[in-house]
Structures are given as C-alpha cells and as structure tokens.
C-alpha cells in the first residue's frame, strides 16, 4: 500500500499534521452490480477531528461512508475493492468480525431512527448486546453518561421509560447519537444527520459534533456546504464517484483548487 493519498489539497493539510490518521483508504473501488459507485478513492481521515464529505447526490459520499463500517455488506450486489484501515487494521480483512467493527464505528443516520422502545432501552441496547455492563447499575451509568454526552440528559432524565419515538426530531437525533456513543466507539459516521431537522435542532447537533470531536474521529456526510464549513476541519468533495479534492476545510471553502469543487460550492453546477 502506498502511503500517499492520490489527491489531497493542499499537498499536506494542516489538520493532517496536527492529528494522527484514524481511517486510511487506498484505491477503494465500490460496485453495485454493474454500477461503478466509487472510483479509485484514496484519502486519510484524521482522528479527533470532524471530516466532512460533500458533493452532489449520487456522488458516492454516502457509499464511501458506509464502506467504513461495512454497512454495504448488507447489500448483496455491493462489492468493495481496495483497502480501508482503521488504526492501521484492515477492516475488510477476513479475520475481522464485522459486528466488532460496527461496535467500534458508530453510525448516525439521515432520518432519526430510534428503536420503537423506551429512551433508556434505546441507549442501553448496544452496551447490553456487547456485554459492556456487568450490572444494572453499570448499564444505568452508561446510559446516563451517553445521554449527557449527547446533551440530552437534562431533557429526558425524568422520562427515561417513555418512548424514544415521542421525542422531537432533534431530540431523536441526539438520542441516536447517544445510542451510537453508548458502545464507546472510536469513529462516528454521520450520514446527513441534520437533513430532517430544523435550524435550531441543527445548531444543537452541530454544537454536539463540535464537542464530540475532542474524543472521536467524526465523519459526516452533508448536503449543506455551510454545515460542512461550520463543523469540519477536513472537507472532501466527491463527484460522480470520484474524490475530487480533499483538504483543510478553510482552504476548500475559500480557495478550492479543482474547478468542479469551485463550481459546486459556489452553486454553479450545471
């Protein structure tokens, strides 16, 4: 495996110098049946920072996100080539257990999707199936910690047994984040986490993402360039299955090098 990503702009993003590489992808190709969804993608994703994937619909950004926790495995026709490592461990290695991997890489989805169970059960589910809590008190501790981290504790502490689906959209999404961090992952993948939320709820989630980046490697796919600019340190622009450009967010949004990036972020795509 070569050590240089194929295209990183500028040659050495500041964020990559400040942080270790958490996720490394080299020459990744993804096919859905005959469709070539991602074409020879190589990128480094920094730890303890937010990386944003932007690009028009169908550009492969979500597809790549789902490669990182092997969610594409659930699609029978999907085929992934190339190498993706998390902490230098090849996640497509045969010896690696996909369940283990997903416990290590949390995911938050576009639409808030709490389980149709109580708030408590939503958060406790992950730790329970992974045996992370020895006692009931442990589990309660994990639930409280996760909800606190997700900034939801104060709002729900009096109604942990009420249904998770009864919360507002923004609260549901934070519940999903709490659920993701309850299993103590190292990477959190977010697939357009705010697209179904109003601006206030969006701001809350963004604030939360900003806090979480102290401890996690966060990768967020977003359609809102403003959001990418606000929350991320590294931005990657995808187009037609290609990674066009990746670099410090500050640079990408003020002075992108590639014409396609420029056209996309200034709203010129034809």
Partner 1 sequence: MSKISPELIAKRYRAEKRFRIYGMAAIAVTASFLLFLLVDLTLKAHPALFEHRLSVTVTPDQVAFADPAKADYAKLAKQTLSDLMPQVKDRAERKALLKLLSSGAADDLREKLMANPALIGTAVATDLLLSDGADQYLKGYVTQVRRTPGDASLSLAKSGEEWTANAAGLAEGTIIKAAGGALVIGAAGTAEVILSPQGDGPFMLQADEWQRVEFAVPASERGMDDRQILLLEALQDKGVLEKGLAWRFFAQGDSREAELAGIKGALFGSIMTVLLTLVTCLPIGVGAAVYLEEFAPKNRLTGFIEVNINNLAAVPSIIFGLLGLAVFLGTLGLPRSTPIVGGLVLALLVLPTIIIASRASLRSVPPSIKEAALGVGASHQQAVFHHILPMAIPGILTGTILGVARALGETAPLLMIGMVAFIADVPESFSDSAAVLPVQVFLWSDLPEAAFRSKTALAILVLLSVLFLLNATAIYLRRRFERRW
Partner 2 sequence: MSDHIVKAFDEELQTLKNMLARMGGLAEEELARAIDAISRRDGALADQVIASDAQVDALEREVEERAILVIARRQPMASDLREIMVAIRVSSDLERIGDFAKNIAKRTHAVSEDYPRRVMTGITRMGSLALEQLKDVLDAYVQHNEAKALEVWRKDEELDALYNSIFRELLTYMMEDPRTIGLCTHLLFAAKNIERIGDHCTNIAENVYYLVHGHPLTAERPKGDVTSITPMVTPEK
Q: Which residues bind partner 2 (CB under 8 A)?
A: 225-226, 229, 253-256, 261-263, 265-270
CA distance 243 to 40: 8
Q: Report, in Å, the least distance between residue 126 CB and partner 2.
A: 37
Residue number with CB closer to partner 1 (48 or 102)? 102
Q: Report, in Å, the least distance between residue 107 CB and partner 1.
A: 4
Residue number with CB closer to partner 2 (100 or 266)? 266
- Which residues in the 69-98 window bind partner 1 by CB under 8 A? 69, 71, 74, 76
CB under 5 to 8 A by kind: which of partner 2, partner 1, none does 117 bind?
A: partner 1
DSSP assignments along 108-157, one per residue:
E-SS----SSBHHHHHHHHHHHTT--SSHHHHHHHHHHHHHHTT-HHHHG
CA distance 240 to 25: 18
CB under 5 to 8 A by kind: which of partner 1, partner 2, none does 168 bind?
A: none
Residues 6+ apart with CB under 8 A from 68: 23, 84, 86, 91, 105, 187, 189, 219
- The torsion angles phi and psi of 87, rounded to 5 degrees, stand at 50, 45
Residue number with CB closer to partner 2 (168 or 255)? 255
CB under 5 to 8 A by kind: which of partner 1, partner 2, none does 179 bind?
A: partner 1
Q: Report, in Å, the least distance between residue 84 CB and partner 2.
A: 30
Nearest residue to 270 (alpha-carbon basis) of 239, 233, 248: 239
How is residue 185 annotated by DSSP?
A: -
CA distance 128 to 183: 9
Q: Report, in Å, the least distance between residue 195 CB and partner 2.
A: 17
Residues engaged in binding partner 1 (CB under 8 A): 69, 71, 74, 76, 99-100, 102-104, 106-109, 111, 113-118, 125-126, 129-130, 163-166, 176, 179-180, 182-183
């Amino acid at each position: 495996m070569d050590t240089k990503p194929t295209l990183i702009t500028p040659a050495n993003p500041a964020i990559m110098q400040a942080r270790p590489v958490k996720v490394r992808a080299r020459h990744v190709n993804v096919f859905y049946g005959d469709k070539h969804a991602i074409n020879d993608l190589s990128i480094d994703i920094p730890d303890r920072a937010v990386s944003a994937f932007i690009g028009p619909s169908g550009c492969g950004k979500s597809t790549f996100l789902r490669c990182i926790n092997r969610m594409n495995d659930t699609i029978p026709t999907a085929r992934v080539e190339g190498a993706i490592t998390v902490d230098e461990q090849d996640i497509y290695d045969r010896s690696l257990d996909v369940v283990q991997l997903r416990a290590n890489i949390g995911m938050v989805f576009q639409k808030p999707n709490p389980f149709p169970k109580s708030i408590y059960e939503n958060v406790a589910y992950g730790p329970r199936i992974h045996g992370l809590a020895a006692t009931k008190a442990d589990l309660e501790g994990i639930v409280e910690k996760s909800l606190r981290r997700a900034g939801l504790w104060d709002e729900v502490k009096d109604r942990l047994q009420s249904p998770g689906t009864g919360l507002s959209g923004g609260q549901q999404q934070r519940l999903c984040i709490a659920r993701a961090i309850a299993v103590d992952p190292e990477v959190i993948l977010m697939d357009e986490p705010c697209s179904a939320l109003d601006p206030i709820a969006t701001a809350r989630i963004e604030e939360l993402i900003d806090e979480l980046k102290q401890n996690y490697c966060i990768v967020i796919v977003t359609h809102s360039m403003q959001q990418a600019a606000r929350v991320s340190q590294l931005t990657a622009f995808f187009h037609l299955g290609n990674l066009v450009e990746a670099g410090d967010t500050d640079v990408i949004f003020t002075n992108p090098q590639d014409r396609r990036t420029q056209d996309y972020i200034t709203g010129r795509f034809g």
